[in-house]
Structure formats: structure tokens, C-alpha cells
Amino acid sequence: MTIQICSLLFWALFCSTAMLLAIFLKHRKGCGKSDGKLPPGEMGLPWIGETIEFYRSQRDNQLFEEFVQPRITKYGKIFKTRLMGSPTIIVNGAEANRFFLSNEFKLVVSSWPTASVQLMGINSIMEKQGEKHRCLRGIIATSLGPAGLEILVPKICDSVQLYLDKNWNVREEISLYHSTKALTFTIVLECLLGLNFEPGTLNTFERVLEGVFAPPISFPGSKFSRAKKARREIKEMLIKVVREKRKKMESGLGGDEGMLFSQLVSGMIRGEISEEEVVDNVVLLVFAAHDTTSFAIAMTFKMLAEHPDCHSLLLQEHDDIMNKRRSGENLTMEDTKKMKYTWQVARESMRLFPPIFGSFRKAIADIEYEGFTIPKGWKVLWTTYGTHYNEEYFKDPLTFNPRRFEEPIPPYAYLPFGGGPRLCAGNQLAKLNILIFIHYVVTRYNWSLLCPGEQITMDPLPFPSHGMPIKVSLKSS
């Protein structure tokens, strides 16, 4: 009997220990201390890791060719490294893009460098998650959705024509990249947001943008210090404008409810967002649109210059549209929908020269993916090149072939605008900006590149190293 009781006690003790052990191991896995298999790759020296190689190839605009591709060949599409102190997994391919981009907020959150967060502000949409992100995105989307964009078309047409008349008609040599930057700035601030600033404001914004990816070190004269000073000036200026707008709107004198700035201030009056959120998101929108749209336009012109047959086809499309309109009449949304070939050319240019290389995410849980474990807290970098330059998704990937966009592209293979909940909120505005600018340039000017082999540099966003100088002259009729 005693033996029976003893063996029963033994089994009860054994079973409960085994159960506790199982619960402990399961819990341990969920808490970020997974003992799963890490992807292959080199972590390099403590903190530095492979940062120097990463930056060097980035500066030469060879990030994919010199950093990512050789590691894919050595380790496969998913590999580990250490960048700027952070253990990082670099993932490549449509399936990986889908997995990480669509699991935003669930398994990963976007992760920006310290300088970017400080300069854009902790209240900008890029730092928001979950419900707060959804709320801000909803406000921004009202002006960037179909109805808002329809209102924007004539405004963009006026801005582009005014800019070209004032700056291009009087000169023979133009920096295409700087022109598109100035114009994008006007389109975002004036056309989209409905704000009017003094001419020097662009310089102040540019000083902020110069520091966004700089080391976050403050000493007199450093890029970051200058950027912070400029950011303070912008904040003061915007706070004044926000308060004036609020007063006007509360006394029923808003007047321009369709404009995004009014939408943001309305959200503030309703108590959905704060004054800081309005200010930070105005700065973020300028940043998000500025270098990206300008680079996309510059690369489209580079491709047109290098492919005269494509240029002729594109010109035909624009001549047809122009010939159906009365002289001086603005383009309509319907006209932009007819620019199918132009959009294929621009998409193909962004495939070969994506304005954004990819972006970082941070794992908020241990992630099991493709037989590997990505530990909680590690960074994940998804890349556009990993699919844009891959034969699996794009036949002859290094050949410029706009017509490839006549066929459907596999999901998450073509990602100049990202994907998932953080898909670029301004992608349709960028499209309009690109199409309308191309229309007025190709129908009005003869143009040619002055520096055809100009190098593209990255810092970390890509740009033509000489600002893409072009020769322009007005067409005779």
C-alpha cells in the first residue's frame, strides 16, 4: 500500500514537473529568449559590425551590388549582420516583403534612425502605431484620396506652369533635380496643405532634411545641430500658423476645408490630434515627398534621354492629349489617366532606381520565419532591390523596358512605395506630380542632358551627384 502511494506520488510529481517545464519553455520562447536558429551571416566586430562596408557601398550607390547581393550568394535571401550597433536581419524577395510589411504592428514596427525621429518629431505618422496611426492616416488620406486629388490637379498644373515660365523660359541651363525639388516643395506646401510661406522657407526645410540621416551628434556647425536649429525655427513658424488657423476656423472663417492643413487643424479642434501632431506631420509630409519625387522625376528623364524610342512614344502620348485641349486650358484628372505609357516609363525608372532602398523594421516579438528565428528587438531591413533586380519577378531585370508593366506584376515584387499598413500615403500625389511635370516639360521644351554619365550618390537617399544639369529651349509652337 505504502509502495503504491509512493509510486502514485512519484508519478504526480513527475507529471507536474514535466508540465511546469513545458509551460516554462513555451513562455521563454514567447518572451524573446528563443533558442531557435538564427539566419546565417556575419555579425562582425561589437557595435560596428558591418556598418563600414554598408555605408561605403551605399555612398557609391552600390548597396545592392556590393553589400546585399554578395551576401545573398553566400548565405541565401535571409541573412544576419550588425549595422550601427543593431543586430539586423536583411530579407529579400516578394514573400519576405509580404510577410514583414503586412505584419506591421503585429510582429514588427517601423524603426527610424535617432536623428530622423528627433527632426521629424515623435508625433509624426512614422512614429505612430495601431489606433493612433490609423487615425492620423485617415486624416491625411482625406486629401490624398480620389476626391482630394481631383481638386489638386488644376493647382498642380498652375504651380508647374508658373514655375517653368519663371525659371526655365529665361535660362538655357537648368538643374533638373533642383527644379523638381523646389517644385515638389511648392506642391506639398501650397497645393496639398494650403500654406503660403516666404521664399526662404525652402532653405530652412532643406537644412532640416540634410540632418535627417546624419549622426545625431550636436556640436557647433554639425549637420545635426544646424538641422535642429532649423527645425526649431520651423516649429515656431508653424505653431503660429496653426493657432491662427484654429482661431479662424473656430469663428467660421476657415474657407479651405479641402486642404490638408485645414483637415489636420479640424482634427485638432475635434480633439483627435494635438498641436504637436499637426506640426510634426507637416514637416514629415515635406520630408516624405521631397527627395523621393524629385529623384523619381530625375531618373525618368535620364531614362528618356538614354532611350530616344521611348521618348518619341511618350511625346506622342502628350501631344495627343495637348491637341485635344484648348490653348491655355489645364489638364484634368481624365487627361492624367490617359498617360498610360508615361506612367509605365516612370514605374520602370523607379524599378531600376528606387528612390527608397528599403526600410528598417524592429521585431516586437520573436519571429519564426523560413525555419529561422528573428529575436525580439532585432532590426529587419526589407529591400526594393531584392525583388526589383531579380530575374524571378522581372525578366532581364537590368534592361529598361516600360512595357513590362502591361503584364500583372506579382504582389510585393514591385515596391517603390512600400506596402502593408505603411504603404506610401502620398503615392497617388507623387504619380500626379510626376505625370503633370513630364507633360509640361516634354510638350514645351527641347531638352538634353548636359552630363549624361552623371553618377548617382546615396546619402542615404539617392541623388544625381551634379543635380542633373540639362540644356533647355522653348519649342517653337
Q: Which three cell numbers stand for residue 101?
A: 510589411
425 is a site residue for ligand HEM (CB under 6 A):
yes
- Pick the stretch among 24-32, 51-59, 290-298, 368-376 that binds ligand HEM (CB under 6 A): 290-298
Say how far apart CA 476 and CA 233 lie, in whole Å. 45
Position of cell 552623371?
A: 454
- Pick the stretch among 157-165, 223-231, 287-295, 403-411 that binds ligand HEM (CB under 6 A): 287-295
Q: Single out the residue of 68, 109, 125, 304 in contact with ligand HEM (rule: CB under 6 A).
A: 125
Query: Considering the complex, what minimum distance in angstroms separates the CB of residue 408 from ligand HEM?
Result: 21
Query: Considering the complex, what minimum distance in angstroms separates the CB of residue 192 from ligand HEM?
Result: 6
90 is a site residue for ligand HEM (CB under 6 A):
no
Say how far apart CA 84 and CA 52 lie, in whole Å. 9
428 is a site residue for ligand HEM (CB under 6 A):
no
Q: Single out the residue of 83, 289, 298, 321 in contact with ligand HEM (rule: CB under 6 A).
A: 289
Interface with ligand HEM in residues 162-191 (CB under 6 A) = 188
Secondary structure E strands in 92-155: 108-110
Q: What is the DSSP string of 176-203?
A: HHHHHHHHHHHIIIIIII-----TTHHH
230 is a site residue for ligand HEM (CB under 6 A):
no
Interface with ligand HEM in residues 127-156 (CB under 6 A) = 137, 140
228 is a site residue for ligand HEM (CB under 6 A):
no
Collapsing DSSP to helix, strand or coil, 459 comes out as: coil
Nearer to ligand HEM, 121 or 416 (CB): 416
Strand-pairing partners, residue 456, are 464
Q: Single out the residue of 139, 242, 356, 472 in contact with ligand HEM (rule: CB under 6 A).
A: 356
Q: Single out the residue of 288, 345, 442, 470 in contact with ligand HEM (rule: CB under 6 A).
A: 288
Say how far apart CA 179 and CA 175 lie, in whole Å. 6
- Pick the stretch among 32-40, 62-70, 292-300, 313-321 that binds ligand HEM (CB under 6 A): 292-300
Reported as type and span, the H/E element at residue 458 is strand 456-458
296 is a site residue for ligand HEM (CB under 6 A):
yes
Q: Single out the residue of 109, 227, 285, 314 in contact with ligand HEM (rule: CB under 6 A).
A: 285
Q: Single out the residue of 216, 426, 462, 464 in contact with ligand HEM (rule: CB under 6 A).
A: 426
Secondary structure E strands in 246-392: 358-363, 367-369, 372-374, 379-383
Query: Considering the complex, what minimum distance in angstroms separates the CB of residue 302 from ligand HEM?
Result: 15
> Alpha helix (H) ranges present in 187-274?
201-211, 223-250, 260-269
* Residue 419 and residue 97 in contact, taking contact as beta carbons nearer than 8 Å: yes
Contacts of 228 (CB under 8 A, 6+ apart): 118, 119, 211, 218
Q: Single out the residue of 39, 416, 462, 467 in contact with ligand HEM (rule: CB under 6 A).
A: 416
Per-residue b or e along 13-30, where b marks 16 or more CB atoms closer than 10 Å to that residue's CB: eeeeeeeeeeeeeeeeee
79 is a site residue for ligand HEM (CB under 6 A):
no
Residue ranges that bind ligand HEM, judged by CB under 6 A: 110, 125-126, 137, 140, 188, 192, 285, 288-289, 292-293, 296, 355-356, 359, 416-418, 422, 424-426, 429-430
